[in-house]
Structure 1
């Protein structure tokens, strides 16, 4: 059984994870790319997940927000050069 203090600790952990970690879906929305493109970025080692949760048929990748932010700045530079 979970006690009240266990629930508080659980909420604190979730809050910290939300501050520093992004899921696959959140990463795709933030970078404005499709999930298949994110898989290719992972294969090419341009944006590596720090943890993979095995979930039966599918895997859920977790990414550090700082890594995603760094890649987004690179991606925006590439997109801006294409517009010129």
Structure 2
């Protein structure tokens, strides 16, 4: 079997969370906190979305329960969106 050397075989994990974050200041704090805990994650918010989406991308696995626990510890609703 031939292998195409131009095909990217690495997989990326992506998880989408619904939050109750409404202000950029809080979103930036959460991003900074999570980047301290998980420096390999690419983290961003879409506060314009009705679900105030927190999106996390990683080349490795994403610790979903730890992200939700972070929210609970900081009085922020973070809930995994099943897609």
Same structural fold, with TM-score higher than 0.5 when normalized by the shorter chain: no
Judging by fraction of residues, say which structure has more helix. 1
Higher relative contact order, structure no. (Cα contacts within 8 Å, ≥ 6 residues apart)? 2
Which is richer in strand? 2
Higher-Rg structure is 1
TM-score (norm 2): 0.36
